[in-house]
Amino acid sequence: MDLDFSAAEQDFRAEVRDWLARHVPDGLPSMDTPEGFEAHRAWEALLASARLSAVSWPEEYGGRNASLIEWLIFEEEYWAAGAPGRVTQNGIFLLAPTLMAFGTEEQRRRWLPGMAKADEVWAQAWSEPEAGSDLAALKSRATRVDGGWRLYGQKTWSSRAAYASHGFGLFRTSEEGRHRGLTYFMFPLDLDEVTVRPIAQLDGLPGFAELFFDGLFVPDSMVLGAPGEGWRIAMATTSSERGLALRSPGRFLATADRLVHLARDRLSRDDLSRDDVDRDFLAGDAGPELVDRAVRCWTDAEAYRLHTFATARRLMSGAEIGSASSMGKVFWSELDLRMHTLAMELLGERAGEAPWLDGFLFALAGPIYAGTNEIQRNIIAERVLGLPR
Amino acid sequence: MDLDFSAAEQDFRAEVRDWLARHVPDGLPSMDTPEGFEAHRAWEALLASARLSAVSWPEEYGGRNASLIEWLIFEEEYWAAGAPGRVTQNGIFLLAPTLMAFGTEEQRRRWLPGMAKADEVWAQAWSEPEAGSDLAALKSRATRVDGGWRLYGQKTWSSRAAYASHGFGLFRTSEEGRHRGLTYFMFPLDLDEVTVRPIAQLDGLPGFAELFFDGLFVPDSMVLGAPGEGWRIAMATTSSERGLALRSPGRFLATADRLVHLARDRLSRDDLSRDDVDRDFLAGDAGPELVDRAVRCWTDAEAYRLHTFATARRLMSGAEIGSASSMGKVFWSELDLRMHTLAMELLGERAGEAPWLDGFLFALAGPIYAGTNEIQRNIIAERVLGLPR
Amino acid sequence: MNFAFTDEQLALAATVRDVLRAHCPPAALRSERRPAWEQLAEIGFFGLLLPPDADGLGLRLVDALPALEETGRACLPGPVVETAVAAPYLLDDVPKLASGSVCVSVLLPSQVYAPDADLADLLVVARADGLHLVSKESVRLTPRPGVDPCRRLFDVSFDDSVLLDRSYVPALRRATVATAAQLIGVGRQLLAAAVAHAQVRTQFGAAIGSFQAVKHQLADVAIALDFAAPLVHRAALSVDEPVVPTVDRDVSAAKAAAGEAAELAARVALQVHGAIGYTDELDLRFWLARAWSLSAAYGGSAVHRARVRDSVIGGDLRRYP
Amino acid sequence: MNFAFTDEQLALAATVRDVLRAHCPPAALRSERRPAWEQLAEIGFFGLLLPPDADGLGLRLVDALPALEETGRACLPGPVVETAVAAPYLLDDVPKLASGSVCVSVLLPSQVYAPDADLADLLVVARADGLHLVSKESVRLTPRPGVDPCRRLFDVSFDDSVLLDRSYVPALRRATVATAAQLIGVGRQLLAAAVAHAQVRTQFGAAIGSFQAVKHQLADVAIALDFAAPLVHRAALSVDEPVVPTVDRDVSAAKAAAGEAAELAARVALQVHGAIGYTDELDLRFWLARAWSLSAAYGGSAVHRARVRDSVIGGDLRRYP
């Protein structure tokens, strides 16, 4: 057991850090606005020009064949540098692993390079109004037509869909069995037979959209895997969504560092307050309790990082994470929420300022999406600990 | 709405405080040892001589007709004075309310005065090996004989039974219905047909015992309520067990005060440690976090006290607490555990030095007995909030 | 000893609740800055705490507490606490105050920004040199981003003002307790909304409210609110008494507990609603935002916890009474 | 970068586990003070960290970590950490140390009492004037009440002693990390016992392990242990390196997290077992007591949290590597 990065890994870190230091833009507008979306696409294109947008991919698709460890290094550097959120996330982290595992060589050649350059931006379309965490209850369907399929029905909570060019999700292609009747489709969002209705969030911006399908034609070449295999394929994707793929520690490490700095500022602000009119009221110095909580979060982020190194090692030696990824999901989502909740407390009435509010709203969703934490805890109890269903 | 004690209530508090100041003994041996049991009985007899052992009872049974508010005052003073635990608790707080509500005048005259003076000490016998929180699953039975009943079967977790003179519990007198076949019995523990097997606890002392019944004869005069009514009667008792009766705030207020003093000592000990060999190691001053938690407990104890004043008022105006008592059970049991867990942390390796350790072991049982907190939360969700079963 | 609200106190709350049901429906939160304001004025709401010689009812804060909880339950926008609770202890001879035709905002110690200052005819601002009374005409306001669309925040600057020769403390204590009462109301409504959703929303073929994990989270919210409320009631009694040595400790204990209970209610309500709880389409978001904004108003939970800590560790273990 | 134990490290742990299964069964906890001691000595356990020239294997702490976790899982009594982990960094030229025929207890800063001192042939006691080596003959021991029947505590006084000219720090760091590793083992066994009980114990006609509330409590224990363990492994790597600037922060983070995870495991195990978990009849009590006693040993969680806090807030946000 060691924690020593190889010379190659250290060189890679140095290269990434240097490139980011020279190219990371100052705060872009929200990717849920039209101009912000374009700005984020431009950033991804620049990232891709340095072959840094999908480092773990094979070179022919625009990656560098980076190892899991190198990918974790990239993520640490990316978020530490304060780089923008990834508008390509659904594609690169959800769809791409599925294409690699279940797609055809043609499909990979056709879709991956454009995904890496953000020429095409992908929306995920898992949920339906009547099926939240319960994928098998999906009702939207696809009917066979000459050379392909036509999609009918409704999807919701489709992230990025407000501006994305394409989407992916499951549609029912036969009625046999809740699971066995589902097929995995990729589809365009710019045709008349699909209507995109943005959903405004607490911040008023459309982070999600509803999709209404009215016979959208999808050629066979955009079916991922065999018809009826959608459930099995999607499970692989969502487990990568829950597991390592979606939630590298880098983001939480950067958040934890910012949180500690915020707590230290707060301490000094309390000191200042002693000399003005607030004195008697604020005699109670709120520092210690909040600082203790901030440092606890910082240590938990470190624990998540180390835990991920161990998991990465297991994966690199060919093991599966499986249900254990549910532990990571619960841990990071509740850590992220604790960090942002504490930041809100530290900011008090200043909470509306700064990047923290957006992060808070995003973190609030953490325990809910990719399988609620209640469901994750059931999975841990039943599949990891072996308790009865 | 007010928080003003009447002149009478203030006089009562003064009398109780004064009497306790003059009579409370220094630490008695544990009531789970033979000598400690006798010492606690002697203390209860002294308490009864001042008509303070059951202040809320009618005078003819040894009480003072104290109001609920006066009883709460008594409890605050009793625990603040550091007086001993109540060896009579099962009788005075569990059986007596049932005798008052469902017993005959003869039964009250026969049993209550001896209970108040601790001439007779009562053990509760609710649980059976196969029935923990699930009273209706009881298997022990009573068969009709001339002039009374004979008891057969086994009870467990019978508190005080190791040394008590009498017990009370439910026995099946017919097979019709899980609930309707149960009857409420009082019975002696000193006859050959009942065997008492003490159960040693973590501290090695027999706080509980198992009871084995082999045809113990119980006269009709010791049946409480009508045969078959045991379930309804027991529910009333256990709800008083969960509710106000068993857990007056007095004990938690006293614990919270002691905890705050302990935290302050700890702070000063950390200061001291700066001047000896521990300096560099203990540079980290553990004070703030622990002190914050201690004060939070102190405030929660105050909240429980105020909440109880409101509940007492509702009861005095004829209302029922009902399922709301489950909220109190969860709150006090988890507060008590938090307080003692924190005390263990503050004491560190000194934790073995009582009285905190005994209290810790007792507090650990809080979330378990009188209906586990899981069950309490179900009750709150279903009966108070109206969620589906 | 009667630690329960009287029929009069509850009747006042019922009246306010009826007014708000009729004139501050959720739809109003999207369209109006001060819904139900005139109707509340008509029932004398803004004169509750004013002395009779100022056309008020001369009630104590505790008398108005259940009514204030109702304003939280309805998520009532506007500088209600500032005008109805703080102003009476900051301003004399403002004849129109009782009638509700004068709208007041305040910027006192523990506040960072003045809430709804753009609606205010008068502002009271604490500076190192004392309390300044500033009129709408002579104030300059800079909007600041906040979390609550119905409780806008402003930076305040001014040249002309009148120095008030009095302490902000009585007003600040009452505004803090009144805000705590609103937080209890906000929390209760969030709990009610989450319960209602859990009863109808199904997953895996069952109402999610039948899942033990959901039940227990909602039960914990009910417990937190149920044990925070008595601290708020006690704090009101403490500020109403001429001299209660523990008053500041009581006020802080109330604000901290109410804020934490409301934030827990918000978090669980979001959990139970899932992604839809997030959206602009559901009214839930207004109560979420109010829980967050009021929890930070007049000092956040951490500041108030710290004040209680300093008092208790300082040796003040007295309990009132 | 290979943050996983090697086959050799796991093989050593497996050997120790087999020895403990055979010679430290739960029954031994009731009857013996040092079960399995000779058998562990036979496989060279007490020489793992000693240099070859002292008949040891010259391993690093990280190599022994999985084996130490096994001693926690088995609730192994006796001054194991003190003799096998601390002594090698405190004592030179004690030839019999590697053979396990010399039993050592220590009383270092952060400890209040010396564990199992009555079994010790040698004691190392830190005083303001330095480290004292005290022999069994010249020590006076006063038993102190503890929570753990298998880890007895003693006050130590003495007249004759030999001053050791060295720092206690290397030994203390390693003893603290080794104790953290034992806590992980104790916690895992408590979790396993709770799961086993929840699978068979029925209530209301169903296995209690099928109730969501029980499932989620046990899942939280699994999570706490799973994310505390890497901090312990990292701390071992830090103390093994010649110079790691964050070593003290790493050691404290590990001890605090392991102690809290084990205490959570104890609380939940007791919850799941219900009243029976309480009794002398069940072996569970030994693991409960060990979780509590080791969590307090070598500095409790709060002390170590505070050390991490001071380091991080002091500005040391460096992550190793």
What are the residue ranges in chain C where pLDDT is below 70? 275, 278
Residue D312 touches partner A, C-beta closer than 8 Å: yes
* High-pLDDT (> 70) share of chain D, %: 99
Give the residue, B128 or D131, on which the prediction is more confident. D131
Residues of B with Cβ-Cβ distance to A292 under 8 angstroms: 288-289, 292
Give the residue carrying structure tokens 């999807």. Answer: A155
Average pLDDT of chain B to the nearest whole number: 87
Is D128 exposed, middle or buried (CB count within 10 Å of its CB: 0-12, 13-18, 19+)? exposed
Q: How far is CA B357 from CA A198, B337, B351, in A?
A: 59, 12, 6
**pLDDT score at A208:** 84
Could you read off the pLDDT of A325-362 as tens digits, one per residue? 889 989 999 999 999 999 998 888 888 876 788 888 87
Q: What is the least distance, in Å, from the CA of C280 to any CA of chain A?
A: 5
C-alpha closest to that of D26 among D284, D272, D310: D284
Residue A260 tokens read as 């500690």
Task: Select the more confidently predicted residue: A163 or B372.
Answer: A163
Question: What digits encode the pLDDT tens for the residues C97-123?
Answer: 999 999 999 999 989 999 999 999 999
Contacts of C111 (CB under 8 A, 6+ apart): A349, C297, C298
Distance CA A369, CA A94 (A): 14
Bridging pattern class, strands D104-107 and D122-127: parallel
Token digits of residue C117? 């200052």
Contact C274 A377 (CB under 8 A): no
Average pLDDT, chain A: 87
List the one residue out of C197, C199, C209, C200 whose CA is nearest residue C275: C197
Q: In this complex, do A357 and C111 lie within 8 Å of one another by their Cβ atoms?
A: no
CA D39, CA B303: separation in Å to the nearest integer?
56
Length of chain D: 321
CA dist., res. B56 & res. B62, Å (int): 9
Do the beta carbons of residue C302 and residue A345 sit within 8 Å?
yes
- DSSP state for residue D140 in the 8-state scheme: E
The token pair that represents B348 in the structure block: 């560190």
Instruction: Tell me the pLDDT tens digit for each residue of D30-55.
Output: 889 999 999 999 999 999 999 999 99
**For chain C, what is the largest distance between any 2 Cα atoms, rounded to a whole number of angstroms?**
66
CB contact residues (below 8 A), chain C span 227-256, against chain A: 252
Helix (H) / strand (E) element for A152: namely strand A148-159
Give the alpha-carbon dihedral of A201, A206, A208, A213, to 10 degrees: 130
pLDDT, one tens digit per residue, over D205-257 is 888 898 888 999 999 999 999 999 999 999 999 999 998 999 999 999 999 99
CB contact under 8 A, D263 and B341: yes
The C-alpha torsion from A355 through A356 and A358 to A364, rounded to 10°, is 160
Label residue D70 exposed, middle or buried (CB < 10 Å: 0-12, 13-18, 19+): buried
pLDDT higher than 90, residue A158: no
Residue B336: pLDDT band (50, 70, 90) is: very high
Please tell me the predicted confidence (pLDDT) of residue A132: 59
Worst-scoring range by mean pLDDT, A239-243, A294-298, B173-177, D270-274? A239-243
Residue for token pair 């109707």: C39
Instruction: Tell me the chain B residues in contact with residue C212 when contact means C-beta distances shorter than 8 Å.
Output: 374, 378
The CA–CA distances, whole Å, from B41 to B94, B101, B161 equal: 18, 26, 14
Alpha-carbon distance of D175 to D169, in angstroms, equals 10
CA atoms of D134 and D125, how far apart (whole Å): 7
A3 and D320 Cβ atoms separated by less than 8 Å: yes
Q: What is the pLDDT of residue B268?
A: 63
pLDDT tens, A218-264? 999 999 999 999 988 887 766 554 445 457 899 999 999 999 998 88
Q: pTM for this one?
A: 0.90
Task: Look at residue C66 in the predicted model and tell me its pLDDT.
Answer: 98
Residues of D in contact with B334 (CB under 8 A): none
The helix or strand, by DSSP H or E, that contains position A309, with its residue range, turns out to be helix A287-316
CA of A69, closest CA in chain D: separation in Å? 8
Say whether B133 and D203 touch across the interface (CB within 8 A).
yes
**Measured between alpha carbons, how far is C262 from C221 in angstroms, rounded to an integer?**
8
Provide the 8-state DSSP code for A24. Answer: P
Give the span between the Cα atoms of C42 and C101, in whole angstroms: 10
Which pLDDT band holds residue A290 (cuts at 50, 70, 90)? confident
Structure tokens at C113: 């920004």
Q: Which two tokens stand for residue C309?
A: 């800590």
CA distance C143 to chain B (A): 36
As a residue count, chain A comes to 389
Query: Is A291 in the C-facing interface, judged by CB distances under 8 Å?
Result: no
CB distance A257 to A80 below 8 Å: yes
Mean pLDDT computed over D114-123: 97
pLDDT (average), residues B122-137: 77
What SS3 state is found at D167?
coil
Q: Quick check: B181 and B174 in contact, CB under 8 A?
A: yes
Tens of pLDDT, residue by residue over A64-118, are 999 999 999 999 999 999 999 999 999 998 899 899 999 999 999 999 999 999 9
Output the six-digit token pair for A21. 């230091």
Reported ipTM: the value is 0.90
* CB-CB neighbors (< 8 A) of A361 in chain C: 278
Q: Which residue has the tokens 């983070």?
A: D253
pLDDT of amino acid A239: 57
Residue A280: band (very low, low, confident or very high) from pLDDT cuts 50, 70, 90: very low
Helix (H, G, I), strand (E, B) or coil at D132: strand
- Residue from the list A5, A295, A305 with its beta carbon closest to the beta carbon of D1: A5
Close Cβ partners of B351 (under 8 Å, ≥ 6 residues apart): B343, B344, B357, B360, D146, D147, D292, D296
For residues C86 and C170, what is the distance between their CA atoms, to the nearest angstrom? 8
* Mean pLDDT for the stretch of residues A33-51: 96
Q: Between helices C247-273 and C301-313, what is the axis angle to 10°?
A: 140
The amino acid that residue D134 corresponds to is: V
Residue indicated by tokens 């007591």: D289
Closest-CA residue of A relative to C248 is A281
Residue of C nearest to B262 (CA): C313
Contacts of B224 (CB under 8 A, 6+ apart): B98, B99, B102, B103, B107, B168, B184, B185, B186, B230, B233
Q: Which region among A9-13, C125-129, C180-184, D91-95 has the lowest average model confidence (pLDDT)?
A: D91-95
Mutate to test the interface with B, among D278, D307, D311, D312 (most CBs of B within 10 A): D278
Residues of chain A found within 8 Å of residue D222, distances taken between Cβ atoms: 327, 380, 384-385
Percent of chain A at pLDDT exceeding 90: 60
Of C168, C107, C172, C90, which is closest to residue C141 (Cα–Cα)?
C107
D113·B349 Cβ contact <8 A = yes
A381 touches chain C (CB under 8 A): no
The model's confidence at residue B284, banded by pLDDT at 50, 70 and 90, is very low
Q: With contact defined as beta carbons under 8 Å apart, do D117 and D136 qualify?
A: no
The candidate with the shortest Cα–Cα distance to D170, out of D108, D80, D216, D116, is D108
Residue in C closest to D210 by C-alpha: C212
